[in-house]
Every structure is written in structure tokens, then in C-alpha cells.
Amino acid sequence: MNIPNFFTLLRIILAPVFILLVASGAPYKAALVMVVAGTTDLLDGYLARRLSMETPIGAALDALADKLFLSSAFLVLAVSGLLPWWLAIVVILKDVAFLGTISFLRLTGKPADTTPTILGKLSTFTQVTAVFASLLTGGPYSPLSFAVLFLILSSSLEYIVREITRGAKPVPGASPRATKTAMR
């Protein structure tokens, strides 16, 4: 196992820790775990590129870690009343649809362009901000909820249009790290 993959696995391990902390009524500790998880996300990508340790398994694990952490965060926060249920459902359905589509395309031998876009990155940033804000404020209906919804729908539409117009052709020069899940 290389160093970037270690950080990715650490993020996977931190997801249940985050869930337990929120469920036990320790939102500030959960926020700290979220900061650590976010740092591992930055480190794994940076180190993989910097040390030329990009691997297909690392890219797949990174995508899984991202989806697992955010989906479980939205779910536990909805159960705890800190975020609205409808938002957790949208986030989880989007993640399932995205991972299912990518898996289907790969199983059928068609490449998928999951290169991050500005809108996808903004969507992810807004999701993380909404989770963090709900932990610190204890408020379930932050205006961020509607921003998250808007950006998820917008970035999802952007990726759908991009895939259709690309016609599922190979992505020229795509590195294994380019498969990092971008639609958030």
C-alpha cells in the first residue's frame, strides 16, 4: 500500500467514527473528524500526483471514500435532525446514481469522463460546508440546504450533458487519478 492510499483508507475508517460522534451527541468532535477527513482527501490527491503514485485502485478507493463519507454524514445528520431528510435523500441518490453509472459504463467497456468541473467542485464544497455548518449551529434548515440542492442538480445535469455530447469516446490523456469522482 502506498502513502496516498493509506490516507484514503483512513478517510474510509473515519466515516463510522464521524457517525458515532454525531449519534452520541458530540457535534464538535464530529466536526474535528470531518476536518481530519478533509485533510486526508487533500493529502491523498496531492501526494499521488507529487510522488507519481497514481493508481486505478487508488482513484476508485478515493471516489468510494468521498461518497461514503459525505453520504453517511448527510444520513446521520438527517436522522439527528440537523439536516433535512429531503436533502440527505438527494445526496445519497445522486451518489448511488453516479457510482452505478460509472460502474455500468466500465463493465460495458465504455470510458466515463469523471474529470472534475468547477460546478462539481463547488457542489462538493457546498455540501461539506452545509455539513460543517449544521454540526456547529445545530440548525436543520440552513439556507445552504437549498444551495446544495441547486448545485447537485446543476452539476449532475452538466455531467449528463457532457457524457452525451462526448458520446462515451475515450478521454484523451486521462490519468488514473482523473477517475476521481467529480460529480458531487
**Alpha-carbon distances of 118 from 40, 68, 105, 137, 141, rounded to whole Å:** 21, 22, 23, 28, 26
The angle at the Cα of 144, spanning 120 to 142, to the nearest 5 degrees, equals: 155
Q: Which three cell numbers stand for residue 21?
A: 460522534
**Tens of each residue's pLDDT in the chain, 184 residues:** 899 999 999 999 999 999 999 999 999 999 999 999 999 988 998 999 999 998 888 888 888 898 899 999 999 999 999 999 999 999 999 988 888 888 888 888 887 777 778 998 899 899 999 999 999 998 776 788 999 999 999 999 998 888 778 764 555 555 544 444 443 4
* Whole-number Å distance between alpha carbons of 111 and 10: 28
What is the residue whose three cell numbers read 490527491? 45
Q: Which CATH architecture has domain 3-179?
A: Up-down Bundle (1.20)
- pTM for this structure? 0.83
Q: Where are the domains of the chain?
A: 3-179
* Whole-number Å distance between alpha carbons of 169 and 61: 24
